[in-house]
């Protein structure tokens, strides 16, 4: 997986910072997560091909997480897109986009599919042969979901030396990769473990923005490779965090610790702080594996 942060600051677009948007690449598929104003320009700056985005996940209908969506939908039309686009987001998102298209007397020249979310339980919203995406119900001022992206287990890897030694014909390779044992012409049974290596372990990524401290998400995100958790505030603004239903860096780290995640990435910083390294310092008092998101930064895992 490769995570590219297009924007990770709270509230408003500014000269040098952008509201929330991320690109997650899973096995050559690009998933766009949230789409604040300016996302199109950030995609261009980060040299991400628009045509490779087929699925967009919107956490909630606060502007800093989706005001760039309508523009992107229209730009796809101008770029002569013809492949389907799927948008996953809270109920109401379809009405917002369609109203604007209708009043502009225009429609997309590609299939535009909305998958509106209303459930307060975690649910599967996307699945194909490579990945599965589930919602992570969050606790915010309006209906909000995080998203859990899980790679599916690859097939087993062929041990080419072993299959040559046993002179096994190519036509059996697919079965072997699928985990099957092989009976040779002389009747010997060769166990699959002798013919294959374990596949690369599948990775997982959990996106949690925006949310108050919420232990209910721990079972859903337990053990993920990377957790992006919002930390709008530092603990010194704990009261404000509570009032606005956001988290502090300390709270994000506490969730990471309790959910036994492998890596925490912080983001959604309030623009009141001049130095985001304070977030890392605070979180590291609780949990050691902390990285800071920043616009244009990428994480390979």
Residues acting as catalytic residues: 64
Residue 11 within binding range of a copy of itself, rule CB under 8 A: yes
Is 60 annotated among the ligand-binding residues?
yes
Segment 90-129, which members bind a copy of itself (CB under 8 A)? 90, 92, 95-96, 99-100, 103-106
DSSP state of 233: B
Report the first-to-last Cα separation within the chain, whole angstroms. 5
Query: Residue 36 CB, nearest distance to a copy of itself (Å)?
Result: 9
Query: Residue 220 CB, nearest distance to a copy of itself (Å)?
Result: 24
Residue 37 within binding range of a copy of itself, rule CB under 8 A: yes
Is 268 annotated among the ligand-binding residues?
yes
Q: Report d(CA 122, CA 143) in Å as an integer.
A: 13
SS3 53: strand
Query: Residue 283 CB, nearest distance to a copy of itself (Å)?
Result: 25
How would DSSP label each residue in 109-176?
SS-EEEEEE--SS--EEEE-SSEEEEEEE--SSS--EEEEEEEPPPPPEE-HHHHHHTT--GGGHHHH
Is 34 annotated among the ligand-binding residues?
no
Distance of CA 67 to the CA centre of its chain: 19
Q: Could you tell me if 145 and 138 are in contact, meaning their C-beta atoms sit under 8 angstroms apart?
A: yes
Helix (H) or strand (E) segment spanning residue 97? helix 93-103
**What are the distances in angstroms from CA 255 to CA 90, 148, 237, 248, 283?**
24, 15, 18, 11, 10
Give the one residue of 31, 57, 67, 149 binding a copy of itself; rule: CB under 8 A. 67
Residue closer to a copy of itself (CB basis): 26 or 56? 56
Residue 15 within binding range of a copy of itself, rule CB under 8 A: yes
Total residues in contact with a copy of itself, by rule CB under 8 A: 33
Q: Could you tell me if 26 and 106 are in contact, meaning their C-beta atoms sit under 8 angstroms apart?
A: no
Cβ count within 10 A of residue 14: 11
Segment 129-168, which members bind a copy of itself (CB under 8 A)? 141-142
Residue closer to a copy of itself (CB basis): 150 or 230? 230
Residue closer to a copy of itself (CB basis): 39 or 122? 39
Binding residues for Zn(2+): 60, 62, 64-65, 140, 210, 268
Q: Which residues bind a copy of itself (CB under 8 A)?
A: 11-15, 37-38, 40-41, 44-45, 61-63, 67-68, 70-71, 74-75, 78, 90, 92, 95-96, 99-100, 103-106, 141-142
């Amino acid at each position: 997986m490769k995570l590219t942060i297009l924007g990770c600051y709270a509230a408003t677009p500014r000269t040098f910072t952008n509201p929330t948007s991320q690109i997650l690449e899973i096995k050559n598929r690009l998933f766009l997560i949230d789409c604040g104003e300016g996302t199109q320009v950030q995609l261009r700056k980060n040299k991400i091909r628009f045509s490779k985005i087929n699925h967009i996940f919107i956490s909630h209908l606060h502007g800093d997480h989706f005001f760039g969506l309508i523009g992107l939908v229209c730009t796809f039309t101008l770029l002569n897109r013809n492949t389907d686009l799927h948008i996953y987001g809270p109920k109401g998102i379809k009405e917002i986009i369609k109203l604007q298209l209708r009043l502009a007397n225009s429609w997309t020249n590609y299939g535009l599919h909305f998958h509106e979310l209303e459930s307060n339980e975690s649910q599967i919203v996307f699945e194909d042969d490579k990945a599965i995406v589930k919602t992570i119900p969050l606790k915010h001022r309006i209906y909000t979901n995080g998203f859990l992206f899980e790679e599916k287990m690859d097939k087993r890897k062929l041990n080419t030396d072993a299959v040559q030694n046993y002179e096994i014909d190519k036509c059996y390779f697919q079965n072997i990769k699928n985990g099957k044992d092989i009976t040779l012409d002389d009747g010997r049974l060769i166990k699959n473990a002798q013919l294959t290596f374990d596949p690369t372990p599948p990775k997982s990524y959990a996106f949690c923005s925006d949310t108050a401290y919420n232990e209910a998400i721990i079972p859903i995100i337990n053990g993920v490779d990377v957790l992006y958790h919002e930390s709008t505030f530092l603990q010194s603004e704990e009261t404000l965090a509570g009032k606005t239903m956001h988290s502090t860096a300390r709270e994000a780290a506490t969730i990471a610790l309790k959910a036994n995640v492998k890596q925490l990435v912080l983001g959604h910083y309030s623009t009141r702080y001049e130095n985001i390294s304070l977030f890392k310092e605070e979180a590291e008092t609780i949990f050691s594996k902390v990285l800071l998101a920043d616009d244009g930064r990428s994480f390979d895992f």
